[in-house]
């Protein structure tokens, strides 16, 4: 079922004193300022070292409990599945069965994060579902357990379960170390209308071509010093070659950003999103005006310093 302004009201009341009736969460995107592929593990996954940044580009997720026991999803984006193919549905189904929850849930997703773009919108939605349903259904799960469940469904989910704007990801990306970086940086983000398959990007990866010399700690130190010029020189994405092998035309986006003087242009995750660092919000806005003449999906984004959870019963939304 797709989202519509004409949808009927939720009509879901409070089940008991420990279970809330409705919640609104803001689900943020991420950027990878550094992504080094170290090697391939025996289980088929790759061993990574990546620097996550949580950014202020959000989906809105509305959760409402129901007495029917049914799980229903609605979304306003035609390419987002509203069944078992959606991570939010999978999370809800797992929690309901494993913890023998009798209540169901209605979930509405308003998408703003581009789909299959290297911004982890699906993983963020999954993490949001874990936090929301833990609260909505009164499960009482701690952070450690939520992370264990999240890791069963995806490598990027764990990052969003930590309330931190910056983190180092290791293993396959699920081993998270929050970082004490106070910098709030502005970026220009361009998302070409080209969906990328993460498995296909990794299949094209040539480990002999990946950079073994760069050190993420240099970038982390530069960000702690709030030195944008220095930080821009140490952005890295080892998947760049694979991305451009699959979609050579994306190089034109990078060249366009560089021609406008954007610093440290790089891909996020497995692409196709391209971003660059700017010195200020105004600089990013000026670039946005120029780039929108050629590209449809252009965003001015910055580090999301605080989480985006809000309780739909009270309407308290925390924005960056």
How many Å is the Cα radius of gyration of the chain? Answer: 20
Q: How many other C-beta atoms lie within 10 A of the C-beta of residue 62?
A: 18
Q: Is 67 known to be catalytic?
A: no
Name the β-bridge partners of 300: 188
Q: Which is catalytic among the residues 26, 30, 90, 135?
A: 30
Estimate the share of the chain in helix, then strand, then coil, as percent rounded to the nearest 5: 30, 30, 45
E runs forming strands in 67-158: 71-75, 104-110
Q: Which is catalytic among the residues 26, 90, 111, 156?
A: 156
Report the alpha-carbon distance of residue 202 to residue 210 in Å, rounded: 12
* 257-259-265-266 Cα dihedral, nearest 10 degrees: 70
Report the alpha-carbon distance of residue 37 to residue 255 in Å, rounded: 24
Q: Are 179 and 5 in contact (CB under 8 A)?
A: no
Report the alpha-carbon distance of residue 263 to residue 79 in Å, rounded: 32
Ramachandran angles phi, psi of 23, nearest 5°: -140, 145
- Give residues with Cβ within 8 angstroms of 16, minimum separation 6: 138
Name the β-bridge partners of 54: 30
Q: How many other C-beta atoms lie within 10 A of the C-beta of residue 280?
A: 11
Q: Is 30 known to be catalytic?
A: yes
* Catalytic center residues: 30, 156
């Amino acid at each position: 079922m797709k989202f519509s302004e004409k949808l009927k009201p939720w009509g879901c009341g409070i089940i008991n004193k420990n279970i809330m009736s409705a919640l609104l969460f803001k689900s943020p995107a991420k950027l990878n300022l550094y992504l080094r592929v170290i090697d391939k593990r025996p289980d088929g996954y790759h061993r990574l070292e990546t620097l996550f940044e949580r950014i202020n580009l959000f989906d809105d997720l509305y959760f409402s409990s129901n007495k029917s026991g049914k799980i229903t999803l609605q979304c306003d984006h035609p390419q987002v599945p509203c069944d078992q193919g959606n991570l939010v549905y999978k999370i809800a189904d797992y929690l309901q069965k494993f913890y023998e929850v009798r209540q169901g849930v209605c979930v509405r997703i308003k998408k703003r994060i581009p789909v299959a773009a290297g911004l982890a919108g699906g993983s963020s939605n999954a993490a949001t579902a874990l936090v929301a349903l833990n609260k909505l259904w009164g499960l009482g799960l701690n952070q450690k357990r939520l992370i264990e469940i999240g890791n069963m469904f995806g490598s990027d989910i764990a990052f969003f379960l930590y309330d931190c704007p910056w983190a180092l990801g290791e293993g396959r990306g699920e081993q998270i170390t929050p970082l004490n970086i106070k910098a709030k940086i502005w970026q220009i983000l361009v998302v070409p209308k080209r969906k990328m398959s993460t498995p296909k990007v990794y299949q094209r990866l040539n480990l002999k071509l990946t950079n073994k010399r760069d050190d993420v700690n240099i970038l982390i130190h530069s960000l702690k010093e709030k030195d944008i010029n220095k930080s821009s020189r140490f952005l890295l994405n080892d998947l760049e070659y694979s991305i451009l092998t699959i979609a050579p035309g994306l190089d034109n986006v990078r060249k366009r950003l560089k021609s406008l003087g954007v610093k440290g242009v790089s891909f996020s995750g497995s692409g196709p999103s391209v971003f660059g660092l700017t010195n200020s919000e105004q600089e990013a806005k000026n670039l946005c005006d120029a780039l929108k003449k050629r590209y449809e999906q252009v965003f001015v984004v910055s580090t999301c310093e605080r989480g985006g959870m809000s309780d739909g019963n009270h309407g308290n939304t925390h924005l960056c």
